[in-house]
Amino acid sequence: MKIAVLSGKGGTGKTFVSTNLARVIESSIYLDCDVEEPNGHLFLRGPVLETDPVALPIPVVDDKLCDGCKKCVDFCQFNALAYTGQRVIVFDKICHSCGGCEIICPQNAIKEIPREIGKIEIRSYEDTRLYTGMLNTGEESGTSIIGNLLQKVSEEDSVVIDCPPGSSCVVMDSIKDADYCVLVAEPSIFGAHNLKMVHQLVKLFEKPLGVVLNKTLGDENPSEDYCREKGLDILIRIPWSDELGRYNAEGMIAAEQKGEYWQMFSDLLHRIKEEVKG
């Protein structure tokens, strides 16, 4: 079973929920798809067992073969190529690695070479295996790292996917194989607005979903109002507490600190399993 944890707004507690869920699942796999700012390994702390570089093919133009026809420059939809009057230059970081320039070049002057854009670090912590995607700083897109991460797991694995914030293509890529989506929301109008955006995204895929109301404070909760209005399942409410705040600040797993939190996340897992079974 694959459980995706997402939120729209950042900082609502995706990593908190996903690392704790990963711990209460026996022999789980935790995938950190927030490749721009991965943090799961700060909580599930184990030595790096292996590092897989992730590379994308980018074009290199052989100036001796290029006759300056500019067909590649005109074709590139991403404006990653430019002709200076003497030669074609490639803007590596804008290139989407579609391979179109190599196909269109009548002189066969373009070849592709791999360029490293990030890596996947593999760790183990207790009986949890972590795969952390990390985009190199200065790189634009981690889509291919997410693709590689998702290929690390098989159908039989019990997987928790910690998604990036937002509602763009990288979130979509992260949830597309999930059996269940957990939406983590905080009690603010910002949280509720982004919950709505991410709810619409998950609906596009027709995935079963439930909401974790995190950091709740008293009665006021715009995110809870949204759940009621749309009839969304509220899986659990986790009240704001100094204790959880401290665990989070220091990179500690709440479920390992206290039996009551272990129970809370076990109950959450149970609810999810029931929902997936239908």
Q: How far is CA 189 from CA 9, 31, 115, 181, in A?
A: 11, 29, 42, 21
Q: Compare residues 89 and 217 and give the one whose CB is closer to another protein.
A: 217
Tokens 């897992």 identify what position? 269
Give the DSSP letter of residue 41: G
Q: Pick between residue 49 and residue 189 the one whose CB is nearest to another protein.
A: 189
* Of 3, 5, 12, 29, the one binding another protein by CB under 8 A: 12
Which tokens go with 121? 């670090």
- The two tokens of residue 169 are 């293509």
Contact mark string toward another protein, 159..198, x via CB under 8 A: -----xxxxxxxxx-------------xxxxx--xx--x-
CB-wise, 15 or 28, nearer to another protein?
Answer: 15
- Element spanning 133, H or E: strand 128-135
Smallest gap from residue 5 Cβ to another protein (A):
13
Give the integer Cα–Cα distance in Å for 196 and 185: 10
In this structure, how many other beta carbons lie within 10 angstroms of the beta carbon of residue 228? 11
Residue 81 CA to residue 92 CA, distance in Å, equals: 9
| β-bridge pairing 88-90 and 81-83 | antiparallel
Identity of the residue, 140 or 267, whose beta carbon is nearer to another protein in the bound complex: 140
> From residue 41 to residue 80, what is the string marking binding to another protein with x (rule CB under 8 A)?
-x--------------------------------x-xx--
Alpha helices for the chain (secondary structure H): 14-24, 71-75, 100-104, 143-150, 169-175, 189-204, 222-230, 242-250, 254-257, 259-277
Among 8, 59, 133, 210, indicate the residue that binds another protein (CB under 8 A).
8
Q: What string marks each residue from 111 to 150 as x (binds another protein by CB under 8 A) or -?
A: ------------------------x-xxxxxxx-------
- Tell me if 92 contacts another protein by CB under 8 A: no
List 245, 258, 267, 270, residue binding another protein (CB under 8 A): 245
- The interface with another protein within residues 248-277 (CB under 8 A) comprises 248-251
Is the CB of residue 160 less than 8 Å from the CB of residue 28?
A: yes
CA distance linking residue 250 with residue 160, whole number of Å: 22
User: Minimum CB separation from another protein for residue 270, in Å?
Assistant: 28
Distance CA 157, CA 163 (A): 18
Contact region with another protein (CB under 8 A), list: 32-40, 125-133, 155-163, 267-275: 32-40
Nearest distance from residue 15's CB to another protein, in Å? 7
Q: Which residues bind another protein (CB under 8 A)?
A: 8-12, 15, 36-37, 39, 42, 75, 77-78, 96-100, 103-104, 135, 137-143, 164-172, 186-190, 193-194, 197, 200-201, 204, 217, 220, 222, 240, 245-246, 248-251
